[in-house]
Amino acid sequence: MDGSTLQSPQQKNHSTLLKFILIGFSDVPNLQEFLFGVFLIIYIIIVMSNSFIIIITRTDPSLQTPMYFFLGNFSFSEICYVSVILPRLLTSLYRQDRSISIIACAIQMYLFLVLGATECLILTVMAYDRYVAICNPLLYPLIMNNSFCILLATGCWVFGVPVHIGFTYWIFSLPFCGSNQLDHFFCDVLPVVNLACGDTLLLEVVIYVIALLVVTIPFMLILGSYVKIISTILKLPSATGRAKAFSTCSSHLMVVALFFGSCIITYLRPKSSYSAVTDKILSLFYTIVTPLFNPIIYCLRNKDVTIALKKFLLISFML
C-alpha cells in the first residue's frame, strides 16, 4: 500500500502547506492605492529622518558623547526594523499578491524579533546613560567611557540573535494543518501561532517568558532609572538646570512610552482578549507609528540635535 494513503487529512495539509496568505488590509479593497501611498511616504520619512540623525551624530563635534552614540545606534536599528516589514507590505499592496513562503515568513519573524529586542535594550541603555549623567555626573566620564559604550551597544545588537533562532525554529516546526490565511500584515508571533494545530500551551508560556525578559524587565529598569533621575532633578537648586535636565530626558521617555506601551499590551494581554483587528492596530504603533515619530520627538525636544541638523542641512544646501 502507498504510504501517502496512510496519512491523515491533517498530515496531508501540513505536508503541502508551503506558504501563508497575509490578509493585511484586504478588508478595505478600495483603499489599497491610498494605503500604498501612505506607507510609502512613511517609509521614506523614517529612512531619511533616521539617516540624518545617524549622519549628524557621527559627524557633528558637539554630539560626540555617549548619549548621541546610542541615539545613532537606535536610529540605525529603526531603519532595519521597519525595513523588515514595510517593503514587504508595500510589495503586497502594489502587486496585490499577499502570499509569503514559510521560509520567508520565518526569516521575517526572526529579524523582527531580533531587531525588536535590540531596540528594547538600546532604549534601556539610553536610560542608564541618563541616570549616570544626572545622578553621578562626576563619575560619568569614567563609567561611560568609549570601550564600555561599544560593549553595551554590541551586547544590545547580539543578545537576541541566539535566543530567537531556537524560538523561531520551534514556532515553524509546529504543524500548520488548517487555514493558511494569516490575519495580519506581517509574520508576527501570535497570529502565526494561532494557525498552528495541536497543543501550543508550552509555546505560549515561553512567549510570555520571552516578553517578560525582552520587554517588561527592560521597561521596569527604565522606570527605575527615571524615578532616581527625577528625584535627583527635583533636588537641583537652579530652575535652569532642572529645565535642561528634564528636556534631555523627556524625549526618551516619550519614545519609551509609545514603544513599550504597545508591545506590552500586545504580548502580555490574556489570550482570551486576543482580537486580530486590535492586534493589527497595536502592531501599527510599534512597527510604523513609533519609528515615524521617534526622529521628530528627538529633533523637537533636543536642542543639540536640532542645532546640529540645521547646520548639516545648511551645509548640504550650500554645496
Residue 301: band (very low, low, confident or very high) from pLDDT cuts 50, 70, 90: low
- What percent of the chain stands above pLDDT 70? 91
Q: Give me 84's grid cell.
A: 523588515
For range 31-35, the mean pLDDT: 90
Residue 239: band (very low, low, confident or very high) from pLDDT cuts 50, 70, 90: confident
Residue 298 has pLDDT above 60, yes or no: yes
Residue 281's pLDDT is what?
Answer: 82
Residue 175's pLDDT is what?
Answer: 87
Q: Which amino acid is at 36?
A: F
Residue 105's pLDDT is what?
Answer: 94
For range 219-243, the mean pLDDT: 83
Residue 16's pLDDT is what?
Answer: 47
Residue 241's pLDDT is what?
Answer: 66
Q: Where are the domains of the chain?
A: 17-318
Of the given ranges (36-50, 62-76, 115-129, 230-244), which has the lowest mean pLDDT? 230-244
Topology of domain 17-318 in CATH is: Rhopdopsin 7-helix transmembrane proteins (1.20.1070)
Residue 13: band (very low, low, confident or very high) from pLDDT cuts 50, 70, 90: very low
Question: Which pLDDT tens digit goes with each residue over 90-110?
Answer: 999 988 888 999 999 999 999
295 or 92: which carries more pLDDT confidence?
92
Residue 1: band (very low, low, confident or very high) from pLDDT cuts 50, 70, 90: very low
Residue 80 has pLDDT above 60, yes or no: yes
- Quickly list DSSP for the chain: --GGGGS-HHHHHHHH--EEEE-TTTT-GGGHHHHHHHHHHHHHHHHHHHHHHHHHHHH-GGG-SHHHHHHHHHHHHHHHHHHHHHHHHHHHHHH---EEEHHHHHHHHHHHHHHHHHHHHHHHHHHHHHHHHHHSTTTHHHHT-HHHHHHHHHHHHHTHHHHHHHHHHHHHTS---S--EE-SSS--HHHHHTT--S--HHHHHHHHHHHIIIIIHHHHHHHHHHHHHHHHHHT-S-HHHHHHHHHHHHHHHHHHHHHHHHHHHHHHS-GGG--HHHHHHHHHIIIIIHHHHHHHHHHHH-HHHHHHHHHHHHHHHH-
Q: What is the pTM of this model?
A: 0.86
